[in-house]
Amino acid sequence: MSDEDLNEGLEFNNIIPEALYLHEAHFLFQMFKIFYADLALSHSSHMESYLILRSKKKATDAFKVIEVELGFMYDVLFTKMTSVCSTRTILRSISFLSSASALVAFSLMVANKCAYTETEVIISYILLGGGVVLEIYGFIMLLLSEWAMFRLSLLKKPWANAIYKAVHKAIYSDNNKRWERYMAQHDLTDAQITKNGALWKMVINSLVCKPTPKVCFLKLIGKDNIQSWDVISDELKELIWEYLIDKRSRYSHEMPQPDPGMNDLKEILAERGDYVLKKMGYLEEFRWAVVELDFHGSLLLWHIATDICYHDDIRNNKVDANNQLCKMSRSLSNYMLYLLIERPNMLPKGIGEARYKQTGIQLTEFSKRWRSKETPRPHWRSEEFMKEIKNHESNVSMLHDACKLARKLQSLEPPVKWRMISQIWVEMMTYAASNCGWTEHAQALTRGGELLTRVCLLMAHLGLSEQCLTTASTSSREAHDA
């Protein structure tokens, strides 16, 4: 089916180009509600969502549609703004007129020499004036909301289209601004964990320094442990999008035979680095670092190894500091560790926190051997450091295996190595996304949204979800298993 046939079938052909993404997001939102209810999506519905996203020329366009869709879901779950109709507009107008009338009436009463003191008059003006300002702000936000813009585009009249284009150019021309354009970062080598599992940085702040208003606010919203933020770049979106399209191309929903090969969806969703290694011819060499470990252990292993490779390559001028694959690999590595520490409910169950603490403690204990004022970053390849780590190998700590993995990675050419590392992190993120429940994704919307949620929704609409398994495919697979 061509894009023109699809738009005609979904009645998008008469929609102005500026509003097309809004209608696509609203259409996908109807399927999102099915996903959220843990129901299966029909084959025809899945193919429509797949064709909508597949028609996007750029990754940023696909992410934009998904972010608008998440905005619709946020409004349904956490606000009262689920539609814009004449009744709601009338009620909002009445509320505004009531507040404005109260302010005018009070002003007339004050003008007629009322018995209130000056302080009481000032406070009353502030309260009534603030109420009017809030009503005006609420009314403007209602008129400029995506729900209102969607309803306006449905009119399909010249004057409505002109208003939509003007508002879109002024406000909505950029990507959706509701969601965070940054992802949280957590670097184990900078954590400085003590034996009780706490961060030195946090202990010092709580015992020595007086908490600043910023620290108090971050603690209030649950973001006080975030070390830093990194932008979700267009290059990173493109890397994720290309990987998902390739992943989708290896699976056919219309496969009649019960063949559990590479077209089997469950096997594809179970990939967490092994497919990338197999594709590049390094699976046997690095199998122990992905397949033979649980997900949390593999995550810690590759996080430390990525950090080692990154700083070694930068220090030895093997790669440029602005190399996109290096930067994206490290950003995804730090983001996944942030999820492990701060949002463990969004990852598959495991003993990640215990391993994280043990590895961090061991890393902190040996930090004096490779940190100094002149060299704030470690000499990771120091034989003395590696030997000391080997002599103190722990069954829980991942530091020894991480150093072993880093050594093997450093034997590869930088372009090959960083292409492999970046794709492994994307594959690990898609594995985590497919194993996270929709309730956890919905709760993340209240914190500004997670990159993991956007990836999960993209996968679902592309058909990379077990909720998209057709009845025929499920029956064939069950028959084969039997």
38: left (phi over 0), alpha (psi -120 to 50) or beta: left
Q: Is the pLDDT of residue 282 over 70?
A: yes
The per-residue pLDDT for 244 is: 95
Q: Rounded mean pLDDT of the chain? A: 79
pLDDT at 261 over 80: no
Per-residue model confidence as pLDDT tens digits over 452-463? 999 999 999 998
With contact defined as beta carbons under 8 Å apart, do 337 and 303 qualify?
Answer: yes
**pLDDT for 392 beyond 80:** no
How many residues in the chain? 482
Q: What is the pLDDT of residues 431-444, one digit of tens each?
A: 999 999 999 999 99
- pLDDT band (50, 70, 90) for residue 13: confident
Task: Indicate the burial class of 393 (C-beta count within 10 angstroms; 0-12, 13-18, 19 or more).
Answer: exposed
Mean pLDDT computed over 400-428:
92
Q: What is the pLDDT of residue 253?
A: 52
Task: Express each pLDDT in 199-212 by its tens digit.
Answer: 433 332 332 334 45
C-alpha dist (Å) from residue 232 to 74, 288, 291, 339, 366: 21, 31, 29, 16, 33
Average the pLDDT over each of 209-223, 268-282, 342-356 and give the range with the smallest value: 209-223
Tokens 């594959």 correspond to 427
Of 81-85, 171-175, 319-323, 444-448, give the lowest mean pLDDT range: 171-175
Instruction: Give the confidence band of 237 by pLDDT, cuts at 50, 70, 90.
Output: very high
Tell which residue, 334, 407, 392, 405, has the closest CA to residue 358.
392
Q: Which two tokens stand for residue 404?
A: 């072993």
**Nearest CA among 282, 294, 321, 326 for reference residue 421:** 326
Residue 334, helix vs strand vs coil: helix
- In Å, the largest CA–CA distance within the chain is 90
Whether pLDDT at 417 is above 80 = yes
Per-residue pLDDT band at 42 (split at 50, 70, 90): confident
Helix axes 438-445, 59-78, angle to 10 degrees: 90
Rounded CA-CA distance 223/217 in Å is 9
Query: Exposed/middle/buried for 171, CB within 10 Å: 0-12, 13-18, 19+?
Result: exposed
pLDDT for 387: 62
Q: What value does the mean pLDDT take over residues 115-137?
A: 88
342-346, 369-373, 393-397, 428-432, range with the lowest pLDDT? 369-373
- Tell me how crowded residue 120 is: count the other CB atoms within 10 A of its CB: 11
Dihedral sign for Cα 404, 406, 412, 418, please: positive
Instruction: Pull the structure tokens for residue 198.
Output: 């706490």
Q: What is the pLDDT of residue 275?
A: 94
**CA 431 – CA 298 distance, rounded (Å):** 12
pLDDT at 468: 81
Instruction: Write the DSSP assignment of 213-253 as a string of letters.
Output: HHHHHHHHTT-TT--EEEE--HHHHHHHHHHHHHHHHT--T
Asked whether residue 476 carries a pLDDT value surpassing 60, the answer given is no
pLDDT at residue number 101: 92
Instruction: Report residue 382's pLDDT band, with 50, 70 and 90 as the boundaries.
Output: very low
Cα–Cα distance measured from residue 442 to residue 449, given in angstroms and rounded to the nearest whole number: 8
Least confident piece of the model among 32-46, 53-67, 322-336: 32-46
pLDDT at 426 over 90: yes
Q: What pLDDT shows up at residue 458?
A: 95
pLDDT over 60 at 46, yes or no: yes
Q: Which residue matches tokens 């046939």? A: 5
**pLDDT band per the 50, 70, 90 thresholds, residue 259:** very low
Of 110-119, 310-319, 326-335, which gets the smallest average pLDDT? Answer: 110-119
**Which of the four pLDDT bands, split at 50, 70 and 90, describes residue 365?**
low
Burial group, residue 250, by CB count within 10 angstroms (0-12, 13-18, 19+): middle
Q: What is the pLDDT of residue 332?
A: 96
More confident position, 57 or 481: 57
Which pLDDT score, from 0 to 100, does residue 11 have? 79
